[in-house]
Amino acid sequence: MLNLLKTRRSIRKYKDMPVEEEKIDIIIKAALTSPSGHAKRGWKLILIDDKDLLVKLANSRGQHSEFLKDAPLGFVLAIDPDDAVEWQVDLAIMATIIQITAQSLGLASCWISAENVVADDGSNMEDNIRSILNISNNNRILCMISVGYPDEIKKEHNEAKFKYSSVYLNGLIQNYRKKD
Ligand SMILES: Cc1cc2nc3c(=O)[nH]c(=O)nc-3n(C[C@H](O)[C@H](O)[C@H](O)COP(=O)(O)O)c2cc1C
């Protein structure tokens, strides 16, 4: 698991290759194992494999979402906050599980923020996504996840650079010391 996590990087360039149905199915199954507050499972996981929609969604923000247009697959993570105790947390967990599962299948991914994001043209990104997908205003959108076969290579996370200064022992006075 640690090796898998170390190799996961945010990849924004994808090969022009579809993702196999079996892999999509595994990602969806994994996502549906996500824990949620009070087991409410209020998430709405929207799989996007339609090129026109991917292009439109890629333009929903601008610079920081445009790479979605070249991904074969995207996920939009939506929820009605009334269906969750902590809607952002429920969706963030699911997004993370999608990313790690994609990585385990030889795929790559990137998180694209949506919640309360102002698009490059000043519009509201969540409104833009709701309008593209024809979904009602009671649905909030935390993020989208692009998925595909990587067409760029990034170095894996280097253990020597892990931010151990953020790790404490028994309170915030004492830093945790890594066992060598
Ligand atoms: C909450 C969150 C929001 C993010 N939003 C975006 C985004 O809108 N666009 C983007 O290109 N990357 C986005 N990222 C990816 C981060 O830039 C990336 O995770 C970070 O630079 C660390 O790089 P790594 O994922 O390769 O380890 C987001 C990541 C997280 C966790």
Closest ligand 1 atom to Cα of 154? 26
Q: Give the helix ranges, DSSP H, for 11-58.
A: 21-31, 51-58
Candidates 61, 77, 111, 143: which one to mutate for ligand 1, based on the most atoms within 8 Å of Cβ?
111
Distance 123 CA to ligand 1 centre (A): 21
C-alpha–C-alpha distance, residues 14 and 179, integer Å? 38
pLDDT over 80 at 178, yes or no: no
Q: What is the pLDDT of residues 78-113, one digit of tens each?
A: 999 999 999 999 999 999 999 999 999 999 999 999
Is the CB of 88 inside a 6 Å radius of any atom of ligand 1? no
Q: What is the pLDDT of residues 13-31, one digit of tens each?
A: 999 999 999 999 999 999 9
- CA 39 vs CA 32, 43, 132, 136, 139: distances in Å: 12, 11, 30, 24, 19
Give me the CATH topology for the region 2-175: NADH Oxidase (3.40.109)
Q: Are 30 and 97 in contact (CB under 8 A)?
A: yes
Looking at the DSSP bridge assignments, the partners of residue 47 are: 75
Is the CB of 13 inside a 6 Å radius of any atom of ligand 1? no
Going from N- to C-terminal start, the domains of the chain cover 2-175
Chain centre distance of CA 109: 7
Q: What is the pLDDT of residues 100-149, one digit of tens each?
A: 999 999 999 999 999 999 999 999 999 999 999 999 999 999 999 999 99
Is the CB of 111 inside a 6 Å radius of any atom of ligand 1? yes
- CA 131 vs CA 61, 68, 82, 135, 154: distances in Å: 13, 17, 21, 7, 34
Q: Give the helix ranges, DSSP H, for the chain.
A: 2-7, 21-31, 51-58, 87-104, 125-133
Q: 22 in helix, strand or coil?
A: helix
pLDDT of residue 177: 85
Left if phi > 0, otherwise alpha if psi is -120 to 50, otherwise beta: which for 177? beta
Q: Are 142 and 129 in contact (CB under 8 A)?
A: no
Query: What pTM value is reported for the model?
Result: 0.97
Is the CB of 44 inside a 6 Å radius of any atom of ligand 1? no
Candidates 4, 5, 113, 153: which one to mutate for ligand 1, based on the most atoms within 8 Å of Cβ?
113
pLDDT over 90 at 10, yes or no: yes
CB environment 27-39: b (16+ within 10 A), e (fewer) = beebbeebebeee
Q: What angle is formed at CA 99 by the lines to CA 40 and CA 69, rounded to 5 degrees?
A: 110
Confidence of residue 63 (pLDDT cuts 50, 70, 90): very high
pLDDT over 80 at 153, yes or no: yes
